[in-house]
Structures are given as C-alpha cells and as structure tokens.
Amino acid sequence: ATNTTYDADGFSKPYQWALILYGGLFAILGVIVSRKILLRFFNDNVTAATLLLMFLGTNIFFFSTIGNEVPHVYLFTLYSFIIWFTIKWNENFKPVYAIALGLAMGVTMAMRQSEIIAAIIPVFWGVSSYKTFTENYQTLWKYRWQVVIAIVVAFMMILPQFFYWRTFAGEYFLNVYNDAGSTLNLKNPRFAYVLFSFRKGWFIYSPLSLLAFFGLYYCWKHYRLFFWPIVLYTAVNLYLIASFTSLVSYGWRAFIQSYALLILPLGCFTAYILQKKLYVRVLTALLLLPLIILNIHQAWQTNMEVIDGSRMTREYYFRIIGKNIVSDEDRSLLMVDRSVTAYDTIKMTSGLNLKSVLNLNFEDQQTEMGDSGTPKPFDGQGIYKLNRDVPFSPGIKTTYNSISSDYFFYLRASVYVYSLADDIREKLYLVITTTTPDKKDLKYRAFSFKDLNIDFISGTWNKLSYDYLTPEVFTKEEIVQSYVWYNGEGIAWIDDYTIDAFTPD
C-alpha cells in the first residue's frame, strides 16, 4: 500500500486483495493435501470426482473463493494436514510426523480454541473395534515421548496467542464470545435449526453435503480405519455448533473445516457410484449437476447480497432461486432487519399489531403535589418525582412471551419530563432492556435527551421517546424491562410514561 495511492491502514484495497489471494492459495494447498489423502484409499477417477463434488457442490466453494477472508478455509487446510500427518505417523511412527502433527494441531487451536476437538482424529484413527481401541492405546503409550513432544509443540504454537491476549486485553485467555447473544448453551442444542432451517441450514445451502453422510455406510463396510474418528468428530462438532446461540453466516461456515474429514466418506460414496453400470452413473450425474450449478449460483448470489447472511426465510429462498436481481417486494419476505447501530426505527407498521404494554399516569402519586416547586401534571392529577434518593421510576418487567410469541417485536417508549435542573439533558435516561432468565443482558438501551439529539427546555414538559427492536431470543422466557433513571443531583418529574408494542402476531 505504501507504493500506491491507497492508505496503509490494513483495510484498504491492497490489504483486502492480499487477504483474498492468500486465502485462495491456502485453499489450493488444502485441495492438494486432500488429494494426497484420497489417493491413499481411492484411485485417480474416484479422487478427481470426489474433489469436484466437494469443492463445486458445497459451500466450501464460496468460503474458499469469494468469501475466503474468514478463518475457516485456513482451518480446512490445517485439518487436512492433521489427517495427513496422522496417516504418516501411524505408518512408521517417525518423530518428524509427531512434531508436524503437533505443529498443525497447535496452529489450528491458536486460530480457534474450540478446535481442540481435532485431537479426536489422531486419537481414534484406526480404531474399528474394542480390540483395536486397546491396541491404539498401547501404541500411544509405546510412543508416549513422541506424543508428549507433539503436545509440547502444539502448546508452543498457542503460546504467542496467550501473550498477545495478555498484552492487549490484560488476560491470558480471552473469550470473545462472552455476550449473552453469542454464547455456548450446551443444554439447548438446535440440531434441526442448524441443519435444515432456511435461514442458514447446512443441508439447505449445501445439499450435496448429505452425500458424505450417505457415504458413512460404505465407510463402515469397507474403511473402518477412519469411520470412528469421522463419526465422533462430526457428532461433537455438530453438538457444539448447534449449541452456539449466534453464528451468522451463509450455510453455517463453522462446518467448513469438517469437509477435510467428510471428503473421505464422500469418496466412499463416489467409489460406490462409479462401480455401477453406465446408466446409474449417468443418472446420478444428471441428478447432481443441477445441485452443483445451484451451489455455484448461490455463492454468486451471496456475494451480490441477493442471499442474505442471516435474514433468510423459506418464502424468500424459493422466491429468489435463479434470480440475479431482487425487488423490494422480494426483500420484504426476509426476516426483520436488525440495525447495526444503537438506534432502532419502526420502518413500517403495516402488518404489525399495536398493543399497549404500559400506561403510567401516576394518579396514585397525587401526594407529591404538595411539594414546593412541583409542576402541574402534564396530564391527569399525578406525577412521579425522581432525585438522588429515588433514581428509578416504576415501569414494566415481564417475560418476552407475555408480549408476543413471534421472533421479534418493536417497543415504542415515551415519557414526559419536567425539571429545573441543569443536568437533565445528559443525566436522565429512558431505559429498555432484554435479559436472559439468568439476568445476562441481550440488549440494553439507555438514551437521554442528549443521546437522541432532543433539546430540553427547562420549566416545561419535554417528551423523551424512542423505538426498540427486541434482540434475538432463544426461549421466549427472556425478561423485557423498562424504567426511567435519573443519575443527576437535582429533581425531575415524569408523567405519561407509555410503552406500545408492535407485534407480528
């Protein structure tokens, strides 16, 4: 970038293209290693057909070409190396392959700590029965010093990441998925949602991935050498992905590295088909070709934002099949558009039902009227007083499903405020929050007059109001709460505190 007119900031075009090219080269390296693995078990024809099916027929095509700026294509290649070095070490037990395996494992875990599950591959490789399991254990014990060396090398690869976190985040281990909306909920795995939802289901956007699972049958019959590591890894990986509350991507990119393993049962399926008569091979090709074309076109649609990474629905999916351009009418079939800023706006109320969820006029606070300097209520006979001793107003605290059973709704909150204090514009907040049942914030908003760029005129009633779109919820038992908070030194009065809900149901 320093030799061009572009900014040397890490984000300009030269850096973007460098990232894309590097990702492409890494993907090619993954293909080369995958070919070497396949040739260990299959002939050239099966290997070539399997690679074509995998890389043209699944979403790895998108993430190894157009969308390769994410780490998953690198993980795919690293997983390929893990498999390759596992094969080589089991052939001759040379220390060099143990070191190489530790190196690949370490870099993989440095990229994503959850990839420690890749250890399933070398531990269970070659296990086909209880007898072979014990033999495998005995082998690991026999070469235990090589195993220790591999573990040490892996740890050394992770160590710089620990020091990086310590230097820039103050911790040796940093969990970047620490907000309630993006966390691991092992008690509530959503298998059907992950695999078959039209929002981003793996088998919906990569239907040819199913062929690898069909191939597991032939794996069991003919290649038990790698059957159990594939099944165990896939089961654990699927459970973890299904338990994660937020992975926004086209066709669940978290499965991309799995293809390094799944290419083997896909090879089993391909070998089975290629052994059949000509008409079976031709018929299979005719059935698979449209799905390959669909996959390539959907990758293009994703790049052109015809396919949305997170808001897809069944209706929109079928509306846009084969389309290069979509209309606003088409896009109206997408899920609700969640703002990437702190501010929400109800863009349209048609199709939404209005219901009142809070209407406080503080008629029971008429005793406050005797206070010196108390203003005349904005409406009715009562107002509510906030000060240092009483900083929070009454409000609403209810479960999500008591307002709506749908996946979203809007709230429009408003309150009238009167004060002579100088700090009201900055220190009085209208708060709306959604929390999990165990009190972790999913979405917290607290806006003042200043935040919303609203003037506050002292000595008169001023309206504070904003819209709030609920966050993604998982049980509908989440808690929705709202109140007014005054964090200043003076006195504020509030009146006509209302919240209306706009719900799809």
pLDDT digit string (tens) for the chain, length 505 residues: 667 777 777 777 888 788 888 888 989 999 999 999 999 999 999 999 999 999 999 999 998 888 777 788 999 999 999 999 999 999 999 999 999 999 999 999 999 888 999 999 999 999 988 999 999 899 999 999 999 999 999 999 999 999 988 888 888 887 777 777 777 888 889 999 999 999 999 999 999 999 999 999 999 999 999 999 999 999 999 999 999 887 666 778 889 999 999 999 999 999 999 999 999 999 999 999 999 999 999 999 998 999 998 899 999 999 999 999 999 999 999 999 988 888 999 877 778 999 999 999 988 765 444 455 688 899 888 899 999 999 999 999 999 999 999 999 999 999 999 999 999 999 999 999 999 998 889 999 999 999 999 999 999 999 999 999 999 998 899 999 999 999 999 999 999 999 999 999 7
- Angle (deg, nearest 10), helices 72-92 and 95-111: 160
**158 and 258 belong to one structural domain:** yes
Rounded CA separation 355/346 (Å) = 15
- Specify the pTM: 0.88
Domain assignment of residue 337, yes or no: no
Domain assignment of residue 7, yes or no: no
Bridge partners of residue 501, in order along the sequence: 355, 411
Distance of CA 146 to the CA centre of its chain: 37
Question: What is the residue-wise DSSP string for 75-117?
Answer: HHHHHHHHHHHHHHHHHH--HHHHHHHHHHHHHHHHH-GGGGG
Instruction: Check which CATH number belongs to the domain holding 405 and give it.
Output: 2.60.120.260
pLDDT of residue 191: 93
Q: Is the domain of 309 the same as that of 362? A: no
- Give the residue from 73, 118, 67 showing the smallest Cα distance to 261: 118
Give the three-state DSSP class for 219.
Answer: helix
pLDDT at 256: 93
pLDDT at 364: 76
H or E stretch covering 486? strand 479-486
* Domain, as residue range, for 455: 353-503
481 with 439: CB under 8 angstroms? Answer: no
In a domain, 176, yes or no: yes
- Give the span between the Cα atoms of 502 and 245, in whole angstroms: 25
Greatest Cα pair distance, the chain, in angstroms, is 97
| Inter-residue contact 252 to 241 (CB < 8 Å) | yes
The total number of structural domains that make up the chain: 2
Instruction: Report yes or no on 230 lying in a domain.
Output: yes
Q: How many angstroms separate the CA atoms of 278 and 289, rounded?
A: 16
Residue 349 φ/ψ, nearest 5 degrees? -105, -5
Assess whether 206 and 304 both reside in one domain.
yes
Amino acid identity of 266? L
Cα 50 from Cα 288, distance rounded (Å): 12
The pLDDT score that the predictor gives to residue 95 is 96
* End-to-end CA, the chain: 53
Same domain, 378 and 467: yes
Q: What span, in angstroms and rounded, lies between the C-alpha atoms of 34 and 260?
A: 7
Are 313 and 458 within one domain? no
Count other C-beta atoms under 10 Å from residue 398's C-beta: 13
Residue 469's DSSP bridge partners are 410
> Residue 456 corresponds to which tokens in the numbers above?
């506050």
CA atoms within 13 A on the CB side of 131: 0
Residue 327 lies in a domain: no
Q: Is residue 174 part of a domain?
A: yes
Residue 373, in any domain of the structure: yes
Residues 365, 301 share a domain: no
In a domain, 190, yes or no: yes
Q: Which of 266, 297, 320 is the last residue before a domain boundary?
A: 320
| Same-domain pairing of 286 and 357 | no
Q: How far apart are CA 256 and CA 23, in angstroms?
A: 14
Same-domain status, 365 and 290: no
Last-in-domain residue among 274, 300, 320: 320
**How far, in Å, are 89, 418, 420, 427 from residue 423 at the CA level?**
71, 12, 9, 6
Please give the distance of CA 189 from its chain centroid, rounded to a whole number: 14
Same domain, residue pair 284 and 209: yes
Q: Are residues 357 and 316 both part of a single domain?
A: no
Distance (Å, whole) CA 436 – CA 474: 9
User: Is residue 180 domain-shared with residue 275, that is, in the same domain?
Assistant: yes
Identify whether residues 247 and 381 lie together within a single domain: no
**Angle separating helix axes 259-274 and 44-57, nearest 10 degrees:** 130
